[in-house]
Chain A
Amino acid sequence: MLNQHEIIQTISMIKDQHLDIRTVTMHLSLFDCISESAARTADKVRSKLLSRAGRLKEVVEEIQSKYGIPIVNKRLSVSPVSLIGAASGGYKEIALAMDDAAKTVGVDFIGGYTALVQKAMTNEERDFILTIPEVLAATDRVCASVNVGSTRAGINMDAVRLMGEVVKRTAELTATSDGLGCAKLVVFANAVEDNPFMAGSFNGVSEGDCVVNVGISGPGVVKAAIERIRGESCDVLSETIKNTSFKITRMGELVGREAAKALGASFGIVDLSLAPTPIRNDSVGEVLEEMGLSAVGAHGTTACLAMLNDAVKKGGTMASSHVGGLSGAFIPVSEDIGMIEAVKRGALTLDKLEAMTSVCSVGLDMIAVPGSTSASTVSAIIADEAAIGVINNKTTAVRVIPVPGKEEGEVEFGGLLGRAPIMPAGKENADAFIARGGRIPAPIHSFKN
Chain B
Amino acid sequence: MKAIVSVIGKDRTGIIAKVTGKLFELGCNVEDISQTVMHGSYFTMIMLITLAEGLAVGAVNDALSSVAEELGVEIRVQHEDIFNSMHRI
Contacts and interface: CB of A to CB of B under 8 A. Distances in A.
A68 B82 contact: yes
Contacts of B36: 4
A11 B32 contact: no
B85 A254 contact: yes
Interface string A66-102: 1111000000000000000000000000000000000
Contact of B34 (A4, A65, A69, A247): A4
Contacts of A68: 57, 61, 76-79, 82
Interface in A238-263: 247, 250-251, 253-254
Given A7-B46, A65-B57, A253-B85, A2 B4 contact: yes
Contacts of B32: 1
Interface residues of A, number: 21
B17 interface: no
B21 interface: no
A235 interface: no
A10 B76 CA distance: 12
Nearest to B76: A68
Nearest to B80: A2
A8 interface: yes
A250 B46 contact: no
Contacts of B56: 62, 65-66
Contact of A7 (B4, B79, B85): B4
A254 B81 contact: yes
Given A2-B4, A4-B46, A11 B86 contact: no
B58 A7 contact: no
Interface in B41-77: 44, 46, 48, 56-58, 61, 74, 76-77
Contact of A67 (B46, B48, B78): B78
A6 interface: yes
Contact of B84 (A2, A4, A15, A65): A2
A66 B85 contact: no
B20 interface: no
B6 interface: yes
Nearest to B34: A4
A4 B76 CA distance: 14
Contacts of B80: 2
A124 to B, nearest CB: 45
8 contacts: A7-B4, A7-B83, A11-B76, A65-B58, A65-B61, A67-B57, A67-B82, A250-B85
Given A4-B46, A66-B79, 5 more contacts: A8-B46, A11-B6, A65-B56, A65-B58, A65-B61
Interface of B: 4, 6, 8, 32, 34, 36, 44, 46, 48, 56-58, 61, 74, 76-88
Interface of A: 1-2, 4, 6-11, 15, 62, 65-69, 247, 250-251, 253-254
